[in-house]
């Protein structure tokens, strides 16, 4: 990646941009996004190269391209967040993920305990998101869906067993 004045070139993989006309439309759309300092659509590589002031402009650039009727290759995932005990925990986990470079959108549902995230796979990955969530005291379960459900059930069973043991000891110690 080339850098200029501590700015990084970010590549947005484009879909359905097949002609110079399409590339021109996308280029003009990116020119309207605040926070993008330079932009160029590379038709042969099917990507847009942008340079941004901060990573908060990336979701806006993705939205601008999608609003024009084209698409950007993104990865979507839903991951259980472990260790949340309140809605504030969900807000903390959501905000740390939202501000990771390459994340287009993220939301945490406290009721289900899941993080739903859309990100650029060329900039970030599920393991990088897991490390970010772990930095604020929670964890993401990033396994395939079949194993994810089994692992989540095992974790819940283990936590229930610990709670049951603590409750029994609390009753025993409170009797005298």
- Look at residue 92 and tell me whether its pLDDT is greater than 80: yes
Residue 38: closest CA among 53, 59, 19: 53
Q: How confident is the model at residue 148 (pLDDT cuts 50, 70, 90)?
A: low
- Name the percent of the chain lying above pLDDT 70: 89
Report the distance separating Cα 167 and Cα 174, nearest Å: 10
Residue 23: closest CA among 68, 84, 85, 87: 68
pTM attached to this predicted model = 0.71
Residue 142: closest CA among 108, 87, 151: 151
pLDDT tens digits, 99-138? 888 899 999 988 888 899 999 988 888 889 989 999 988 8
The pLDDT value recorded for residue 6 is: 58
- Look at residue 96 and tell me whether its pLDDT is greater than 50: yes
pLDDT tens digits, 11-39? 899 988 888 898 899 999 998 888 888 98
């Amino acid at each position: 990646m080339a850098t200029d004045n501590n700015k990084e070139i970010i590549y947005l993989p484009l879909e359905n941009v097949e002609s110079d006309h399409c590339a021109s439309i996308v280029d003009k759309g990116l020119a309207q996004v605040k926070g993008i300092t330079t932009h160029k659509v590379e038709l042969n590589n099917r990507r847009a190269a942008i340079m941004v002031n901060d990573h908060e402009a990336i979701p806006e650039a993705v939205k601008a391209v999608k609003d024009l009727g084209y698409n950007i290759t993104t990865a979507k995932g839903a991951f259980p967040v472990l260790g949340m005990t309140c809605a504030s925990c969900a807000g903390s986990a959501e905000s740390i993920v939202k501000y990771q470079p390459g994340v287009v959108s993220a939301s945490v549902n406290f009721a289900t305990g899941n993080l739903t995230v859309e990100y650029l796979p060329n900039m970030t990955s599920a393991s990088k998101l897991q490390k970010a969530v772990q930095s604020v005291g929670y964890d993401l379960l990033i396994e395939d869906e079949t194993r994810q459900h089994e692992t989540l059930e095992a974790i819940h069973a283990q936590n229930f067993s610990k709670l049951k043991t603590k409750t029994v000891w609390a009753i025993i110690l409170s009797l005298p």
